[in-house]
A and B are shown apart, each in its own frame.
Chain A
Amino acid sequence: MNEPIGSGSLLEISDVEVEYKARGRGPVRAVAGVSLEVAPGQIVGLVGESGCGKSSLARVAVGLAAPSAGTIRFAGQPVTPLRWRRRPGPEVGLQMVFQNPYASLNPRRTIGAQLLDGVPDTVTGAARRGRVLDLLDRVGMPAEAAQRYPHQFSGGQRQRLAIARALAPEPRMIIADEPVTALDASSQAQVVNLLVGLVRDLDMGMLFISHDLSLVHEIADVTAVMYLGRIVETAPTRQLWSTPRHPYSQALIDAVPQISAHPQLPRTLAGEVPDPAHAPAGCRFRPRCPHAFGPCGEQPPTLDLGGRSAACWLNDPTVAPAAVPAA
């Protein structure tokens, strides 16, 4: 349990690329060089529109697929793609919660049997059964749930059971890919509060992937914004919201409808997300960006802005015009 952790982070994603090859089409680079870190007890939110590569990154980060370039390290050790084999011991500490609890639980086995699968081999005899009850209790489900089948639960309850399954092997890090998107507002709040509580109580790390910006704002310590395979901005969540330094982050924030006594329509962003097989040269957001100017024909470097970073030429005082837009 106590391997040395390089540089204090639990999950380290460095320069990861994911490429898909399809017939009759050039290779599609769904993830084009992403670096991200998650520390113990930290929730990192990853937001972006559909097709931006969030889920491809999640699958690679948890070891379900191999990156075409770059490395993933969990607790200092490289994560190796699984294929048809058992997850090696130390990597069991890295678990995933999927979007659809209807698909991630086996419909033909009881909840108890599925939870038992995950309980570590070091727990033996009657203690294993006790562990199952602890897990159910932790996610706010009654002990009777162990004897039932997934179809006997509502969507929100199923997602809590899927979380219990992810917790069974005592993970240190959870990757949650759109865990509440399929749920109603009130069960969304229940599941989100449960996940946040677990991270705080058990000092786990969590990568929380969602297209719902306001939800990420509510729970993440750090938010990373992804666009077309790249992370365009990373910042402590509140700073990102109050002073976004990338025009795409600003556009996402402006598009969230707000409740007010004098309502107004959310601001719209021009254009569509381009096909990643034909990503624009230079800055990938340029064709939709209201601030695009000369230097944007070249890919902007990710600039360190003191505790946060953004990949936009506007933040580079040597090329940017005097008027600073975002913020």
Chain B
Amino acid sequence: MKPLLDVDSLAVTLPGPTGPLPILHDVSFSVGEGELVGIAGESGCGKSLTAQTLLGLLPAGAKVTGSARFDGTELLGLDARRWQKVRGAGIAMVFQDPTAALHPMLTVGRQLTEHMRVHLGMDRRAADRRAVELLDQVRIPDPERAVRAYPHQFSGGMRQRAAIAIALAARPRLLIADEPTTALDVTVQAGILALLDRLRAETGLAVAFITHDLGVLSALTTRGYVFYAGRVVETGPTGALLTAPRHPYTAALLGARPHGTQAVGTLRPIPGGPPAPGQAPPGCPFQPRCGYAEPSCGTAPPPLSSAGPDRSVACVVRPHLEVAA
């Protein structure tokens, strides 16, 4: 079966003050129909830029190579009119900050029906009816009243659920969610995760969930990709990826996270910081921070290669140590 979204060897270069800055290098990933896929990494690793590429929202002057096929159609190089068709009805997006994503001076109902009228050609009455249904679907209390409300009248969690309802308005097949729960309380986050899982089960919605929280990645997604400095460094079924990481960076991210089960004071920070775009070392980008680095790591970035069933890892040292041990 062909995946719904198939990204192959995607590379993006942005114009910088002193010349072109390579941001994404050779990124490949896929999302199947009705699949929940996670993308994890620290800020600046290229997660959000990947999302922008898939929605045709890159800034002027960006250079893109590789391929991104959505439902068989090549996205890269589409003209503005055909992008318009993909956005909303094909691929929709939810952002981290719902306050910035919602128009403060339009009612929530108006923001919901706009998409339906443009993409689905619905008349006003049918769109109004569906707006109420959508708000009900994302569990906003009293949806008949809520369609007439303005975003500031909602709490943070309700705003993000409204933003999800708006993203779903034109019946997209793929939802890209970029850190949608990072600014929310755990209780509200739990509700959003349950909502996405329910939409997947009920409507076959595929979700690419971008997050830096590995707990969220584990709870929600079935397959995950770990990004570092614009590359995919490890991928696999989420359960295996996070309980038996092969890449030193995945392992280090897990170590830096509160465990919730261990003795007090066990956070292990990763030394240093990720490289700025264009300043990655010649070899493996993680090498300067890596506890397993060997001289050979400094020559060329290691390719992503197979490491067991459905798993790949871009490291030449650690996976072999594990096997030997």
Chain A residues proximal to chain B, CB less than 8 Å: 49-51, 154, 156, 184-190, 192-193, 196, 211-215, 217-219, 221, 237, 241, 251-252, 254-269, 272-273
Q: Which residues does chain A contribute within 8 Å of B257, judged by CB atoms?
A: 185, 189, 214
Query: Is residue B268 within 8 Å, beta carbon to beta carbon, of the partner chain?
Result: yes
Q: Which residues does chain B contribute within 8 Å of A266, judged by CB atoms?
A: 186, 189-190, 193, 219
Q: Which 6 A-B pairs have the closest CB atoms?
A: A189-B269, A257-B219, A257-B215, A214-B258, A189-B267, A218-B258
Q: Are A252 and B186 in contact (CB under 8 A)?
A: yes
Q: Are B156 and A50 in contact (CB under 8 A)?
A: yes
Q: Are A261 and B239 in contact (CB under 8 A)?
A: yes
Between A154, A184, A187, A251, the greatest number of chain B beta carbons within 10 A of the residue's beta carbon is seen for A184
Measured in the bound complex, the distance between the Cα atoms of B253 and A187 in whole Å is: 11
Q: Are B187 and A252 in contact (CB under 8 A)?
A: yes
Among candidates B189, B239, B258, residue contacting A217 with C-beta atoms closer than 8 Å: B258
Q: Taking the nearest CB of chain A, how far is it from the CB of B103, in angstroms?
A: 23
Q: Taking the nearest CB of chain B, how far is it from the CB of A235, in angstroms?
A: 15
Q: Are A184 and B187 in contact (CB under 8 A)?
A: no
Given the known interface contacts A218-B264, A218-B265, A265-B197, the answer about A256 and B186 at a Cβ–Cβ threshold of 8 Å is yes
Measured in the bound complex, the distance between the Cα atoms of B267 and A215 in whole Å is: 9
Q: Which residue of A lies closest to B249 (CB)?
A: A186
Give the interface SS of chain B, mostly helix, strand, loop or mixed.
helix
Contact residues of B between 20 and 53, Cβ < 8 Å to A: 42-43
Q: Taking the nearest CB of chain A, how far is it from the CB of B211, in angstroms?
A: 10
Q: Are B268 and A213 in contact (CB under 8 A)?
A: no
Chain B residues proximal to chain A, CB less than 8 Å: 42-43, 141, 155-158, 185-191, 193-194, 197, 212-216, 218-220, 238-240, 242-243, 252-254, 256-260, 264-270, 273
Q: Which residues does chain A contribute within 8 Å of B188, judged by CB atoms?
A: 49
| 12 A-B pairs with C-beta separation under 8 A | A193-B269, A217-B260, A221-B264, A241-B260, A254-B190, A255-B186, A259-B243, A261-B240, A263-B219, A265-B190, A266-B189, A268-B190
Measured in the bound complex, the distance between the Cα atoms of B186 and A258 in whole Å is: 12
Among candidates B42, B187, B215, B259, residue contacting A218 with C-beta atoms closer than 8 Å: B259
Q: Are A272 and B190 in contact (CB under 8 A)?
A: no
Q: Which residues does chain A contribute within 8 Å of B254, judged by CB atoms?
A: 259
Q: Which residues does chain A contribute within 8 Å of B197, judged by CB atoms?
A: 265
Q: Taking the nearest CB of chain A, how far is it from the CB of B225, in angstroms?
A: 16
Q: Which residues does chain A contribute within 8 Å of B158, judged by CB atoms?
A: 272
Q: Are A211 and B264 in contact (CB under 8 A)?
A: no
Among candidates A189, A211, A260, residue contacting B185 with C-beta atoms closer than 8 Å: A211
Q: Which residues does chain B contribute within 8 Å of A213, judged by CB atoms?
A: 186
Measured in the bound complex, the distance between the Cα atoms of B182 and A212 in whole Å is: 11
Q: Which residues does chain A contribute within 8 Å of B260, judged by CB atoms?
A: 214, 217-218, 241, 256, 258
